Structure 1
Amino acid sequence: MTTQHSRRNFLRGQLSRPEAPLMRPPGAQARFSQLCTGCGDCLRACPEAILIRQPGPSGPALPLVDFSKGACTFCGACAEACETGALCPEAVPEWPWTATITDTCLSLGGIACRACEDACEPRAIRFRLMTGGRAAPTLDPEQCTGCGECAFTCPAGAVSFEQRAPATEVVR
């Protein structure tokens, strides 16, 4: 189904936007929406309690990761609790998300804050000093595990997540 682009639709607020990918629990399979029954076993199994139910337009409410509640330790408990195969324990380390830092970062505005850097265990976030007493956050995507600890601790909510591009194999 496509949305017609017209002034009428624009004025009605009916804009077509690409749907953002949903952050499913670690180990989510490609056919997660078809396999998940919404039973809630993964929510109950998560020791960090970072999984929430996403109300769906039809069908069961499916789980999503919510880093405002904490960070993921990638323990695999949610995948082990899944009996439908929607979450695969072997795929837990293949987390496709990485953090990005937005322009609302307090440090970019001249406010001394290093909460995300302090919370980042793999040291993927560093601050580069700039003129005027500001510091710019830099994120090393190779070091970032996508655990969400930086998002949980950021007082400005300046950390968001995007999916990593799939690795491409070089053929020689």
Structure 2
Amino acid sequence: MPPEIDLARRGLLRGKIGATPPVVQLPWSVDWSAFVSGCTRCGDCLTACPEQIVVLGEGGYPTVDFLRGECTFCQQCATVCKAPLFRPTTEAPWRYKAHIEASCLASAQVFCQRCQDSCEPRAIRFIPELGRVPTPTVDDQRCNGCGACVQDCPVGSIKVDGRSVALG
């Protein structure tokens, strides 16, 4: 059996100090530095997630992978955690929003509206344009950052992150 690798030490040798914040943290989780300080990497949140979108990220810390599916905001990850790593679930789960990249099929004049069809809060709408296929827009007021659109996009043109919103 090979010896266990100390990921923190290996990162230090590569010039990394601490785990890099993931693109998407778990819903209701505290800021990344506090999360990393208190997380034991027990894996309870991974097994508790019914959608199986909570995965091990860098350093063995849990993160969300929308390529596996959407977050239903079931609160299981926050409920099962024994450490004080989560804000009250009465607050907004996070401030992430969907962004449609330039590689969207509509940019290439290919008709596709799968993201709109998968968007339960109806945050993604397609605007008709004369002589062109409809182009998508995201209503930041309606988007809850659930990630349903990410997995549904056939070309991977949708990202969910905190780009346009300050994370807190």
Change beyond 3 A, Cα 1:37–1:104: same
- Distance (Å, rounded) in 2 between the aligned partners of 1:62 and 1:38: 6
> Unpaired segments of 5 or more residues in structure 1?
1-18, 168-172
Preserved contact between residue 115 and residue 153 of structure 2 (Cα < 8 Å):
yes
Change beyond 3 A, Cα 1:154–1:23: same
Q: Which residue of 1 aligns with 2:30?
A: 29
- Distance (Å, rounded) in 2 between the aligned partners of 1:29 and 1:55: 17
RMSD: 1.9
**Bigger-Rg structure (1/2):** 1
Amino acid at match of 2:141: E
Q: How many residues align?
A: 145
> Unpaired segments of 5 or more residues in structure 2?
1-19
Change beyond 3 A, Cα 1:92–1:69: farther
Q: Percent identity?
A: 39
- Distance (Å, rounded) in 2 between the aligned partners of 1:130 and 1:51: 39
Relative to the length of structure 2, the TM-score reads: 0.79
1:45 aligned to which of 39, 45, 48: 48
**Cα shift readout 1:51-85 (whole Å, capped 9, x = no counterpart):** 110132xxxx1001000000000010010010011
Relative to the length of structure 1, the TM-score reads: 0.78
Preserved contact between residue 22 and residue 63 of structure 2 (Cα < 8 Å):
no
